[in-house]
Homo-oligomer: A and B are copies of this chain.
Amino acid sequence: MPKRGYHHGNLRQALIEAALKLIEEKGPTGFTLSEAAKTAGVTPAAVYRHFAGREDLIAEAARQGFDMFADLMQYAYDTGQPSALAAFEATGRAYLAFARRHPGHYISMFESGISVNRTPELAAAANRAKAVLERAAGELSEHIPAEKRPPASMFSAHIWAMSHGVVELYARNTGTASPFPPEDLLETGIGIYLRGLGLIEADK
């Protein structure tokens, strides 16, 4: 993507991509506005034409991340049909796939320290993602007798927590080597959990 003269053309998006790359390589701490500008082939001051500052850039990266994330999980859910169970499991796999394929986004969203309520746009994107998961959980939990059914928001919070935990503890290069492939770990974990809810037969 060579620079074509004085005007960049699409600097805003180029800066976001530079930020994502740096965050991916060096963690949320390693990201600096100046280096992102340099990576995009531009003076640090140019950044201020497009963003209010450093945090604003990260927030926008996170927003785009939540958008993609929600789309991806929605798509996984839709194409995982017709069985609610199959759709739900596809959504779980999509979670991990997203974290793997878009680590920069994932880190911006969950590890950068920026609050999800920083801007209305960011909050909206995050809520949409959450809603997709809750809907998947809600539809699946209709197969449980009403009196034993946990609230869908609790159900989805459990799944989200386990997915996030697997990503953070076992799907990163740092530290503890995973005893099992993260994908397997998450799939078996969700499987056991769903069995506990009576959604999978005990001997399967």
Residues of A within 8 A of B (CB): 27-29, 110-111, 113, 115-117, 126, 130, 150-151, 153-154, 157-158, 160-166, 168-170, 174-176, 178-180, 185-186, 188-189, 191-198, 202
B166 touches A161 (CB 8 A): yes
User: Bound complex: CA of A195 vs CA of B144, how far in Å?
Assistant: 15
B175 touches A169 (CB 8 A): no
Task: Please tell me how many copies of the chain the complex holds.
Answer: 2
User: Bound complex: CA of A193 vs CA of B155, how far in Å?
Assistant: 12
- Smallest CB-CB separation from A148: which chain B residue? B203
- Smallest CB-CB separation from A184: which chain B residue? B154
User: Bound complex: CA of A11 vs CA of B173, how far in Å?
Assistant: 34
- Smallest CB-CB separation from A150: which chain B residue? B188
User: Bound complex: CA of A176 vs CA of B125, how far in Å?
Assistant: 12
Given contacts A116-B176, A164-B168, A196-B196, 9 further A-B contacts (CB under 8 A): A111-B111, A115-B175, A126-B175, A157-B185, A158-B162, A158-B188, A162-B165, A164-B164, A192-B196
User: Bound complex: CA of A35 vs CA of B166, how far in Å?
Assistant: 34
User: Bound complex: CA of A84 vs CA of B166, how far in Å?
Assistant: 25
- Smallest CB-CB separation from A196: which chain B residue? B196
